[in-house]
Amino acid sequence: AQKVTQAQTEISVVEKEDVTLDCVYETRDTTYYLFWYKQPPSGELVFLIRRNSFDEQNEISGRYSWNFQKSTSSFNFTITASQVVDSAVYFCALMVDSNYQLIWGAGTKLIIKP
């Protein structure tokens, strides 16, 4: 069975601090995809990144970076120099090639204080 664990229920930091959101996944499939989504207070889910299981290269997009490590089954998300606008709930999700359903983590609520 597949599972995604986001152990951090809520994180609160002061603006300009760096913050890392953890995501640990479980699957026996060899082909799978990992995702991160942002859900601001408005509610709409915003797609951030998709990674396939054969690409362990870390990704950087502006202040956002992702660290994919198959050895620890983790796909962590770091925001550098956080801003108030980064306040949101962030979801990590897993999709396996055998059924293409998104398995969602419980989400991490990130609060950035000015």
Which residues here bind other proteins, judged by CB under 8 A?
Answer: 33, 35, 37, 42-47, 50, 91, 95, 97, 100-102, 104-107
What one-character DSSP code corresponds to residue 72?
A: G
CB of 15 to other proteins, least distance (A): 25
CB of 25 to other proteins, least distance (A): 14
Between 20 and 101, name the residue whose CB sits nearer to other proteins.
Answer: 101
Between 19 and 38, name the residue whose CB sits nearer to other proteins.
Answer: 38
Question: Are 114 and 84 spatial neighbours (Cβ–Cβ below 8 Å)?
Answer: yes
Between 17 and 26, name the residue whose CB sits nearer to other proteins.
Answer: 26
> What is the residue whose two structure tokens read 């949101």?
88
What sign for the dihedral angle of Cα 9, 15, 17, 23? positive
CB of 81 to other proteins, least distance (A): 26
* Nearest in space to 109 (alpha carbons), one of 21, 45, 18, 34: 21
Question: Are 67 and 22 spatial neighbours (Cβ–Cβ below 8 Å)?
Answer: no
Between 17 and 98, name the residue whose CB sits nearer to other proteins.
Answer: 98
